[in-house]
Every structure is written in C-alpha cells, then in structure tokens.
C-alpha cells in the first residue's frame, strides 16, 4: 500500500512484506542515495547494516533498494531507509503511537471528500479533533506556492535595491572618471571629436563596467546554485531566460547610469577642459 500511495518503485530486491510486520523481522530497504553512499555501485541486497540509537545497536539485513525519486513534498525519499513499523515501535522508539499516516484518494476529484472522511474517522476513534491534523497534497502545494511567491517578492525587492545601488555606484565611478580625464576630453574635442563621439565613448565604458559586474554575478549565482544542489540535496533549476533577463537588466542599469555622465563629458567646453588642473 505504501508503494501505491507514494508511487515509489523498487529497484532491486523487494519491499517490506506483511510477514515482516507480523514477525518484527530485522530487515531494511534502502533509499537509492543511502545505498550509493554505503555500498557504491555494488548490489547491497543480502548485506547487513548496523543502526545505532544511543548505546543500542540494531543489525538489519538489506532486502531491497528503491528507485531514485529525488526531492518531493514529504522530503527526500532517496535519503530514507525503511524497516518494519512493528519492530521500530517496540524495539527502537518503544512507543505505541504513530505520528504520521498516509492515504490516497480514489481520484483527484475525491481528495476533498477523502480529507473529510479521514477527519471524521479519526475524530470518532480518538474522541477529539485536537490531537491530529489532516492535510491534502493540494493544501501543501498551495502553502508552498504562497511561500514561494513571498520569497520571489522578497528576492525581487532585494534585486531592485541592488540594481539601484549598483547603478549609483556605476554613475559615481563614471563621474570620477570624467573628472580625472577632463584634459583628455578637452584634447579630443580640440582635435575634432564630436558630441556623439564622446557620448558613445562613455556610454560604452559604462556598459562594459556594468555588464562585466553582471556576468560575474551570474557566474557566482550559477556556481552557488550548483553547489547547493550537489552538496545540500536541494534541487535547483537555472533557466536561460532568467539569466538573459538578469544580464539585460545589468546592461540597462549601466546604460542609464552612463548616459548622464556621458552627457556631462560631452558638454565640457574644450578651452576650460584644457586648462583644467
């Protein structure tokens, strides 16, 4: 039933049987990531694994390995192991209660009805509505969507502030550059450089400065995302369109910051510029 509810498949060996629950057999099924870490590419079925809880040690025989499933709503299945519930409750956790039950509705349309029936059943069995909480996958997805939307808004706000600060930084650097190169600008104008020539020069310099910073930022972001995905176990997705949009915004900020300074440089009087100390 667990495999049907979770749509999980066995890669090698078998999953837990009813006899394992009845006889409290010390057998274990490994998630794909656990199997890879413990045994590499070898088939672990038939091998023995020792599970340590405090000062107690339990040895299990591996009877199966699960297919890779990755990160899902309920966690990372690939990093889990499975043992008979009866053995875990009596020997390891020494409890008579369970914290989580999973069920599957007949169809997606019946999900809301299934939640109501589960709540009614638990209420009738326990005599209270305070000791449990029934949540459907749709509700979990909706909650996660709300959280993701809030995070996107926060990141957008942080990104917007960063763009403004970056634009001001680029503009200040370009203003300092104009101030330090006043005589150079005067010389160019005296030699026949036109307004648009100086305008184009400083706009290009601002674009190069901003897009270089944007490229470095994108590279750092991609490397960070890959590192988190590989070592943190969190799936990350990098879209080319998002990278292009970010790079385009960095160029736009550079253009906006460069236009003002370029106009200031192009308007300089060559006589005053040449006499500037």
**pLDDT tens-digit profile, the chain (277 residues):** 788 878 889 999 999 999 999 999 999 999 999 999 999 999 999 999 999 988 899 999 999 999 998 776 666 789 899 999 999 999 998 888 888 888 878 777 788 888 888 888 888 888 877 778 888 877 877 888 898 889 889 988 888 888 788 888 888 888 887 777 777 777 877 788 787 888 888 888 888 888 888 899 889 988 988 888 777 767 777 888 888 888 888 888 888 878 888 787 777 776 666 665 5
> Using CA atoms, how far apart are residues 142 and 137, in angstroms rounded to an integer?
8
How many residues are recorded in the chain?
277
The pLDDT of residue 251:
87
Same domain flag for 93 and 119 = no
3-state percent helix, strand, coil for the chain, nearest multiple of 5: 60, 10, 25
Same domain flag for 178 and 228 = yes
Same domain flag for 82 and 127 = no
The pLDDT of residue 267:
75
Whether the CB-CB separation of 2 and 15 falls below 8 Å is answered with yes
Same domain flag for 158 and 260 = yes
Same domain flag for 161 and 254 = yes
Determine the structural domain holding residue 181 and report its residue range: 138-274
**Buried b / exposed e along 69-100 (16+ C-beta atoms within 10 A):** beeeeeeebbebbbbbeebbeeeeeeeeeeee
Same domain flag for 142 and 225 = yes
> Using CA atoms, how far apart are residues 233 and 36, in angstroms rounded to an integer?
14
pTM: 0.56
The pLDDT of residue 125:
85
What is the total count of domains within the chain? 3
Same domain flag for 144 and 245 = yes
The pLDDT of residue 26:
96
- The last residue of one of the domains, among 87, 102, 117, is 102
The pLDDT of residue 231:
78
Instruction: For strands 75-76 and 48-53, give the pairing.
Output: unpaired
Same domain flag for 175 and 74 = no
- The last residue of one of the domains, among 57, 80, 102, is 102
Same domain flag for 53 and 181 = no
Same domain flag for 259 and 169 = yes
- The last residue of one of the domains, among 54, 82, 102, is 102
- CA angle centred on 56, ends 55 and 59, rounded to 5°: 140
Same domain flag for 47 and 94 = yes
The pLDDT of residue 74:
60
> Using CA atoms, how far apart are residues 157 and 63, in angstroms rounded to an integer?
51
Q: Which residues pair with 62 in a beta bridge?
A: 28
Same domain flag for 42 and 18 = yes
1: closest CA among 132, 101, 109, 133?
101
162: closest CA among 249, 236, 94?
249
């Amino acid at each position: 039933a667990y495999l049907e509810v979770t749509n999980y498949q066995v890669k090698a060996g078998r999953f837990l049987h009813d006899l394992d629950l009845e006889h409290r057999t010390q057998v274990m099924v490994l998630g794909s990531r656990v199997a890879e870490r413990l045994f590499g590419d070898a088939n672990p079925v038939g091998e023995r694994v020792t599970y340590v809880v405090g000062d107690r040690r339990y040895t299990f025989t591996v009877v199966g390995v699960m297919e890779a499933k990755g990160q899902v709503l309920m966690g990372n299945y690939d990093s889990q192991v499975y043992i008979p519930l009866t053995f875990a409750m009596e020997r390891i956790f020494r409890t008579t209660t369970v914290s989580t039950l999973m069920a599957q509705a007949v169809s997606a349309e019946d999900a809301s009805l299934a939640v109501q029936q589960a709540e009614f059943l638990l209420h009738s069995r326990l005599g209270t509505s305070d000791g449990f909480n029934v949540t459907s996958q749709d509700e979990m997805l909706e909650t996660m969507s709300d959280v993701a939307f809030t995070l996107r808004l926060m990141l957008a706000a942080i990104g917007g502030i960063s763009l403004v600060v970056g634009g001001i930084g680029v503009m200040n650097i370009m203003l300092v550059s104009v101030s330090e190169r006043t005589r150079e600008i005067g010389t160019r104008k005296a030699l026949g450089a036109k307004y648009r020539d100086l305008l184009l020069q400083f706009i290009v310099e601002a674009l190069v400065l901003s897009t270089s910073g944007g490229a470095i930022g994108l590279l750092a972001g991609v490397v960070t995302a890959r590192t988190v995905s590989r070592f943190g176990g969190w799936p990350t997705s990098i879209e080319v369109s998002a990278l292009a949009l970010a790079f385009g915004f960095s160029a736009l900020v550079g253009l906006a910051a460069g236009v003002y300074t370029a106009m200031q440089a192009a308007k300089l009087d060559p006589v005053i510029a040449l006499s500037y100390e």
